[in-house]
Structure 1
């Protein structure tokens, strides 16, 4: 047998079902000054005003069941969501502009993955540098710092970084 819930479901008036006695009760609660209110029993068959539903006739209930959602515009239908529009299935050939847009999208995704080796170069106005590419300012090749074991390569890289810095 399962255990009763810690916080039993309550009606709008706060009436819950006591899990031990299976009677309808208003559970004990704490007042703002810290004292406890006693648990109150609710007579069988009593329904407080907060829990009384508004009467709806059969036709009114049927109208409510078939009502459109709030804010819906009559006659408007959302555009169809199909995979044919994206061109992934290849049944419909892409137009010239759609091909251009697809190429642009691929290029953006490819450029998004490129991380520059030196973030300081970007501040000075040069483009993203990749290992082995020419630096636009000095015309020298930028060496990657991949040779951790070689002290000469590290010293040369450090010397070139110091040359780039200028004290104003």
Structure 2
């Protein structure tokens, strides 16, 4: 059975993979790209960098309504009444993400760009990230990352608005 973290991934450049696939992280922290679970994938990668621009949204407003005339006596005086209702719909658009990979077979660096949504980012950003010397880097939880940014705010190294923006990015809002 599949025990890997996985999410859909559509590379726009840099990868030998074409079209929609899944990015999968094995228990050892290596990743591979495949629609289906593979017990021993031939091609694996190490993530050495990941950057995402954060969520972007499109807002659509739709107004519906009706109006009618109210006739008063005498007919010369008329009054118009209207009932309007506006509905706001907010949808997330994918935004640019960059994944820097190290091919475990050839030791070549590969840069892949794609559009990601918050849910995809939350999964990929939790994957193990390796440094250039191929040593694993401890990946802090989202709560730990927010505490680090809060510490910068407390030291007056960043503004309240910068703290809020970073917190929203980390929470995928």
| Greater relative contact order, per chain length (Cα 8 Å cut-off, separation 6+) | 2
Q: Which has the higher Rg, Structure 1 or Structure 2? A: 1
- Provide TM-score, normalisation by structure 1: 0.19
* Greater fraction strand: 2
Q: Which structure dedicates a bigger proportion of its chain to helix? A: 1
